[in-house]
Amino acid sequence: MILKNFNSQHFKGWSNFPLSTVTTVLIFLITFLFSAAAQTKYGEGSESGIIRFKKSTMVSVEKLIVFGDKLGIGELPEGATWSITTSEGDTLTGNGNSLNDYIFSIPGAYKIYIDENQVYLPGSCSHKQFPDIIDLTVSDVKMTFHLDEVSFSGEIHKGVQCQSLSVTVPVTVEPYDNETSLDFPFEIVATAGVGTTVVGTLHPGTVVYRGKQNLIYNLSGTVDAESYIMFDFMDINGQVQSYSMTSPIK
């Protein structure tokens, strides 16, 4: 330690300086010592000027997909290693982009660990591209909105209330098990666009079941500007599937 060999002789004459000066010097010395300690603790390979970030800086995220889907997180570098752990404790390991080829065919909770094995120089712009841990939920129900089959009961006009209008969207529901009807709590469809206050409400008494069916949403609100608007349909997993109108509201 820098202060280790200090004794009273080193501090003779300090009484001749103003208290503010002595305080400033001490603060600078303490800050320097903490900075040096931090670099020693968190820098690996610092003798060669290379720093590898330690696991204390790990980033964890949550993600939801449905059974039969892949992770889809972008291409991993060849040097990366990964592991997938199920809630039962079973583990699968691999390297590189093969993680994105894995199909999660069974619903449940998974924990995915990713190590990019990336080393880079201090002050560089490079940084980790992927989280260290992904807490993955694989849903047991798949719900697909057939957005190319969306239809309206009439035209939406600028500045005109659309309480008498509805939008119909066909959906296909695929449960993992043998359920025939399912709870569907997302009854509201929001819109986005300039001047829109339009919302859709699922027709009362609608039951969502296995297979393909039409969902009808009753509209309300107005569009007060000439603009394109987008309908954000919420699926059974709380994920948005958006439909953009192909012509502007006039």
Task: Give the domain ranges of the chain.
Answer: 55-139, 143-244
pTM recorded for the entire structure: 0.71
| CA atoms of 16 and 3, how far apart (whole Å) | 21
Query: What does the pLDDT average to over 43-72?
Result: 70
Burial of 23 (0-12, 13-18, 19+ CB in 10 A): exposed
Nearest alpha-carbon partner for 197 in 158, 146, 239 = 158
Bridge partner residues of 16 (DSSP): none
- What pLDDT is stored for residue 47 in this prediction? 43
pLDDT above 60: residue 85: yes
Q: What is the mean pLDDT of the chain?
A: 84
* Beta carbons of 159 and 222 less than 8 angstroms apart: yes
The amino acid at residue 207 is V
pLDDT above 90: residue 29: no
- Give residue 194's Cα distance to chain centre: 26
- Report which of residues 126 and 72 the model is more confident about: 72
| CA atoms of 194 and 250, how far apart (whole Å) | 12
- What pLDDT is stored for residue 111 in this prediction? 97
The amino acid at residue 71 is L
* Beta carbons of 209 and 181 less than 8 angstroms apart: yes
Share of the chain above pLDDT 90, in %: 66
